[in-house]
Structure 1
């Protein structure tokens, strides 16, 4: 008679650093920042008078400006315009950055031909090309989308290139020894192994897209959050300027959280995922 072996007790996985109490800490830090902002605004208005009170509106004034713009529908229109441009430009950059990055990483002649040019262009600040984008594509949506795509292309390209180039060669040789064809190795071995770097590139490209869209909407736009900020500057409306900046930051934060959740779902084997 074979004795029964005791069953192993399942070990609980460590709690993610973004769950439970750490989430409360994050909310507390934001609340503390808003409180500090309110205190500085009130102190400047009633005690210190270091700046003109108009220049440092408090969170209450910004909130009231948001309510007014929401009632008129202007805030919603500006948000939709900005998000549309960011998604279109980011999507174009993600697709081209992924394809070019994989091609340059896997085909040596293409790397010799294009990598120096891309590295040269990457060193030029994207804002330097904004006036030319307007002249080339006009003041419509095409210039803004092209500008975002140009700026967001480089982080996507670099992370894809590095991710594919530094895939463990043991994995590639193992797949080849089993008879896998080059395209199958690329699809089932190289790209999955490079996926963490690609996801990181997507997050970096998205952040940069929100960074440059404000500048693009400064120059040639009649809608969008950047236009809201620039229009408020013309009329010296500080609450409206801060409202546009804060809403842009909130939208960027929400998009980044979506990518973080996607990353955590794709890479469940990594405890806690990336931050």
Structure 2
């Protein structure tokens, strides 16, 4: 006699399916927190590796006091400017390279040389050019996010259905109108994928830049707390930036789902 699979979604009452999915999604994080709590104070001194309870309590204090918001808002602003610039330039460059051989010939070597360079290696040079502060952080975020967006835009524009383009041309659509009316709408799904991939990269690049080249921002807060030995606050700041990046990705996914309905 066959037995029903109790783990299959259809065997779970519908009102409980959402709760079960939520628990399953967060089980890895709970396991990580439990392991962290065991390691803290046992294998590693608690002064160096505070436990998750202490860290989350400090995170709540930072948020409740508002102490973290000035740095967080500055960091989010830097991410928004750097990522926004990379979207505007990356999409135009990717589509231009896909649709124009001269454009591809000009920029292909440059992008190929830029791609393997760790963007944090450019921070000292950016400091020489722009000084310490927002401009350097924005530049590093821009450079880090540019390649994923260019590559996704390029691949999407290269794969546009030729029949779609020919049909539009036969109806008198050409030049800029062809790019705007046909090619660009067809590339939107891949562009959105590139932007979604770039969001966490933007936060990684931001914190790396702020650790070296900023006197404010969440990365600077992490560095300052570590330098004075306040490791609980250091980890709390890391939790804040991680939660912010997660919220940014999830928020973009909601926006993406609405845009994809239109596309």
Whether the 8 Å CA contact 1:155–1:204 is kept in 2: the answer is yes
Q: Does 1:208 align with 2:201?
A: yes
Q: Does 1:144 align with 2:137?
A: yes
Separation (CA, whole Å) in 2 of partners of 1:42 and 1:112:
54
Flag the 1:119–1:60 CA change in 2: closer, same or farther, 3 A. same
Separation (CA, whole Å) in 1 of partners of 2:256 and 2:15:
19
Whether the 8 Å CA contact 2:59–2:239 is kept in 1: the answer is no
Question: Could you list the runs of 5+ residues in structure 1 that have no partner in the other structure?
Answer: 1-18, 271-275
- Give the count of matched residue pairs: 250
Q: Helix, strand or coil: the match of 1:218?
A: helix
**Per-residue deviation, 1:67:** 3.2
- 2:176 is matched with which residue: 178, 183, 188? 183
Question: 1:161 corresponds to which residue?
Answer: 154
Q: 1:216-272: CA deviations, max 9, x gaps?
A: 1101222211112111211222221221221111111111112211221122399xx
The worse-fitting range, judged by mean Cα deviation, of 110-119 and 57-66 is: 57-66
- 1:36 is matched with which residue: 31, 34, 42? 31
Question: 1:112 corresponds to which residue?
Answer: 105
Whether the 8 Å CA contact 2:211–2:223 is kept in 1: the answer is yes
- 1:83 is matched with which residue: 76, 95, 99? 76
**Per-residue deviation, 1:188:** 1.4
Q: 1:109-134: CA deviations, max 9, x gaps?
A: 11112111211111211111111011
**Per-residue deviation, 1:55:** 2.9
Question: Could you list the runs of 5+ residues in structure 2 that have no partner in the other structure?
Answer: 1-13
The worse-fitting range, judged by mean Cα deviation, of 223-232 and 69-78 is: 69-78
Whether the 8 Å CA contact 1:37–1:59 is kept in 2: the answer is no
Q: 1:194-227: CA deviations, max 9, x gaps?
A: 1111111111222211111111110122221111
Q: Helix, strand or coil: the match of 1:204?
A: helix
Flag the 1:247–1:43 CA change in 2: closer, same or farther, 3 A. same
Q: Does 1:268 align with 2:253?
A: no
- TM-score norm. by structure 1 comes to 0.83
Separation (CA, whole Å) in 1 of partners of 2:88 and 2:121:
23
**Per-residue deviation, 1:21:** 6.4
Give the RMSD, CA atoms, in angstroms: 2.4
Separation (CA, whole Å) in 1 of partners of 2:155 and 2:124:
31
Q: Which has the larger radius of gyration?
A: 1
